[in-house]
Protein backbone atom coordinates (compact mmCIF):
# COMPACT_ATOMS: atom_id res chain seq x y z
CA UNK A 1 0.00 0.00 0.00
CA UNK A 2 1.45 3.44 -0.87
CA UNK A 3 2.74 5.43 2.12
CA UNK A 4 0.37 8.33 1.45
CA UNK A 5 -2.61 6.06 2.19
CA UNK A 6 -1.65 5.06 5.76
CA UNK A 7 -2.22 8.47 7.38
CA UNK A 8 -5.70 9.16 5.94
CA UNK A 9 -6.73 5.54 6.53
CA UNK A 10 -5.59 5.74 10.16
CA UNK A 11 -7.52 8.99 10.66
CA UNK A 12 -10.71 7.42 9.26
CA UNK A 13 -10.30 4.35 11.46
CA UNK A 14 -9.72 6.49 14.56
CA UNK A 15 -12.73 8.69 13.80
CA UNK A 16 -14.90 5.64 13.25
CA UNK A 17 -13.93 4.24 16.66
CA UNK A 18 -14.78 0.62 15.92
CA UNK A 19 -12.59 -2.49 15.70
CA UNK A 20 -10.95 -3.22 12.35
CA UNK A 21 -11.53 -6.60 10.70
CA UNK A 22 -9.42 -7.56 7.70
CA UNK A 23 -11.04 -10.13 5.44
CA UNK A 24 -8.76 -11.61 2.79
CA UNK A 25 -10.80 -11.96 -0.41
CA UNK A 26 -8.16 -13.90 -2.35
CA UNK A 27 -5.02 -15.64 -1.18
CA UNK A 28 -2.63 -13.33 -3.06
CA UNK A 29 -3.73 -10.41 -0.88
CA UNK A 30 -2.33 -11.95 2.29
CA UNK A 31 0.87 -10.04 1.53
CA UNK A 32 -0.84 -6.74 2.50
CA UNK A 33 -3.01 -8.05 5.32
CA UNK A 34 -0.34 -8.36 7.99
CA UNK A 35 0.72 -4.71 7.73
CA UNK A 36 -2.89 -3.53 8.17
CA UNK A 37 -3.30 -5.84 11.18
CA UNK A 38 -0.07 -4.53 12.73
CA UNK A 39 -0.76 -0.83 12.17
CA UNK A 40 -4.36 -0.81 13.34
CA UNK A 41 -4.59 -3.67 15.83
CA UNK A 42 -6.98 -5.41 13.48
CA UNK A 43 -8.29 -8.95 13.47
CA UNK A 44 -7.62 -10.98 10.31
CA UNK A 45 -10.13 -13.60 9.19
CA UNK A 46 -11.23 -15.76 6.27
CA UNK A 47 -14.43 -16.85 8.04
CA UNK A 48 -17.66 -15.22 6.94
CA UNK A 49 -19.03 -15.77 10.45
CA UNK A 50 -16.44 -13.30 11.81
CA UNK A 51 -17.62 -10.40 9.64
CA UNK A 52 -19.37 -7.41 11.20
CA UNK A 53 -23.11 -6.86 10.77
CA UNK A 54 -23.94 -5.47 7.33
CA UNK A 55 -21.00 -7.23 5.66
CA UNK A 56 -21.67 -10.42 3.70
CA UNK A 57 -19.21 -12.78 2.06
CA UNK A 58 -20.06 -13.79 -1.53
CA UNK A 59 -18.10 -16.80 -2.75
CA UNK A 60 -17.45 -16.85 -6.49
CA UNK A 61 -17.73 -20.52 -7.37
CA UNK A 62 -14.47 -22.15 -8.54
CA UNK A 63 -12.78 -18.73 -8.83
CA UNK A 64 -10.64 -18.87 -5.68
CA UNK A 65 -12.23 -15.65 -4.43
CA UNK A 66 -14.82 -14.42 -1.99
CA UNK A 67 -16.08 -10.88 -2.53
CA UNK A 68 -17.58 -8.71 0.18
CA UNK A 69 -20.98 -7.03 0.00
CA UNK A 70 -21.49 -3.99 2.25
CA UNK A 71 -25.25 -3.51 2.30
CA UNK A 72 -25.30 -0.03 3.91
CA UNK A 73 -23.33 1.80 1.22
CA UNK A 74 -24.36 -0.80 -1.41
CA UNK A 75 -20.71 -1.52 -2.11
CA UNK A 76 -19.08 -4.61 -3.59
CA UNK A 77 -15.44 -5.30 -2.69
CA UNK A 78 -13.83 -7.80 -5.09
CA UNK A 79 -10.27 -9.07 -4.78
CA UNK A 80 -8.82 -9.91 -8.20
CA UNK A 81 -11.71 -11.19 -10.33
CA UNK A 82 -13.15 -7.73 -11.16
CA UNK A 83 -10.72 -4.93 -11.96
CA UNK A 84 -11.00 -1.26 -12.85
CA UNK A 85 -10.72 -0.83 -16.63
CA UNK A 86 -9.08 2.65 -16.60
CA UNK A 87 -12.14 4.09 -18.39
CA UNK A 88 -14.43 4.40 -15.37
CA UNK A 89 -15.76 0.84 -15.66
CA UNK A 90 -14.82 -2.71 -14.84
CA UNK A 91 -13.37 -5.74 -16.54
CA UNK A 92 -12.84 -9.36 -15.52
CA UNK A 93 -9.29 -10.34 -14.64
CA UNK A 94 -7.02 -11.52 -17.46
CA UNK A 95 -7.44 -15.24 -18.31
CA UNK A 96 -3.83 -15.84 -17.23
CA UNK A 97 -4.83 -15.01 -13.65
CA UNK A 98 -7.05 -18.12 -13.65
CA UNK A 99 -4.40 -20.69 -14.63
CA UNK A 100 -3.57 -21.82 -11.10
CA UNK A 101 -7.16 -22.73 -10.20
CA UNK A 102 -8.12 -26.39 -9.78
CA UNK A 103 -10.37 -27.24 -11.46
CA UNK A 104 -9.46 -24.83 -14.23
CA UNK A 105 -11.78 -21.93 -15.00
CA UNK A 106 -12.14 -20.21 -18.36
CA UNK A 107 -12.84 -16.51 -18.79
CA UNK A 108 -16.40 -17.36 -19.95
CA UNK A 109 -16.95 -19.55 -16.89
CA UNK A 110 -15.71 -16.75 -14.64
CA UNK A 111 -18.17 -14.29 -16.17
CA UNK A 112 -20.96 -16.82 -15.66
CA UNK A 113 -19.89 -17.45 -12.04
CA UNK A 114 -20.15 -13.71 -11.32
CA UNK A 115 -23.64 -13.31 -12.86
CA UNK A 116 -25.31 -13.67 -9.45
CA UNK A 117 -23.74 -10.32 -8.49
CA UNK A 118 -26.34 -8.69 -10.74
CA UNK A 119 -29.01 -9.61 -8.16
CA UNK A 120 -27.51 -7.06 -5.74
CA UNK A 121 -28.34 -3.33 -5.83
CA UNK A 122 -24.66 -2.41 -6.27
CA UNK A 123 -23.80 1.28 -6.41
CA UNK A 124 -20.05 1.19 -5.62
CA UNK A 125 -17.40 -1.32 -6.69
CA UNK A 126 -14.23 -0.88 -4.62
CA UNK A 127 -11.63 -2.75 -6.66
CA UNK A 128 -8.14 -3.63 -5.48
CA UNK A 129 -6.63 -2.94 -8.93
CA UNK A 130 -7.59 0.14 -10.93
CA UNK A 131 -10.03 2.95 -10.23
CA UNK A 132 -13.18 2.24 -8.20
CA UNK A 133 -16.65 2.59 -9.67
CA UNK A 134 -18.43 5.23 -7.58
CA UNK A 135 -21.87 5.14 -9.17
CA UNK A 136 -24.03 2.70 -11.14
CA UNK A 137 -21.91 -0.28 -10.08
CA UNK A 138 -24.51 -2.83 -11.12
CA UNK A 139 -24.50 -1.47 -14.69
CA UNK A 140 -20.68 -1.50 -14.73
CA UNK A 141 -20.67 -5.15 -13.66
CA UNK A 142 -23.27 -6.02 -16.28
CA UNK A 143 -21.07 -4.48 -19.00
CA UNK A 144 -17.98 -6.31 -17.67
CA UNK A 145 -19.78 -9.66 -17.80
CA UNK A 146 -20.81 -9.39 -21.45
CA UNK A 147 -19.21 -12.03 -23.66
CA UNK A 148 -16.16 -10.89 -25.53
Give tens-digit pLDDT for 75-122: 999 989 999 998 999 999 999 999 888 778 999 999 999 999 999 999
User: Which residue segments constitute the domains of the chain, with CATH numbers given?
Assistant: 1-50 (no CATH), 53-148 (3.60.15.10)
More confident residue, 28 or 64: 64
**Average pLDDT of the chain to the nearest whole number:** 91
Distance between CA atoms of 75 and 129, rounded to whole angstroms? Answer: 16
pLDDT for residue 37: 92
Burial of 63 (0-12, 13-18, 19+ CB in 10 A): buried
Query: In the predicted model, is pLDDT for residue 29 greater than 80?
Result: no
pLDDT for residue 2: 67
pLDDT-derived band at 28, boundaries 50, 70, 90? confident
Helix, strand, coil share (%) of the chain residues, nearest 5: 35, 20, 45
Amino acid sequence: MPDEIWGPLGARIEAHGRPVVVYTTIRWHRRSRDEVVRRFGATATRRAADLPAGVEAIRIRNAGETMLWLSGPRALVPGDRLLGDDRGGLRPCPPGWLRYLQPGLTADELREAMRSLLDLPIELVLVSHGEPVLENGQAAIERALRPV
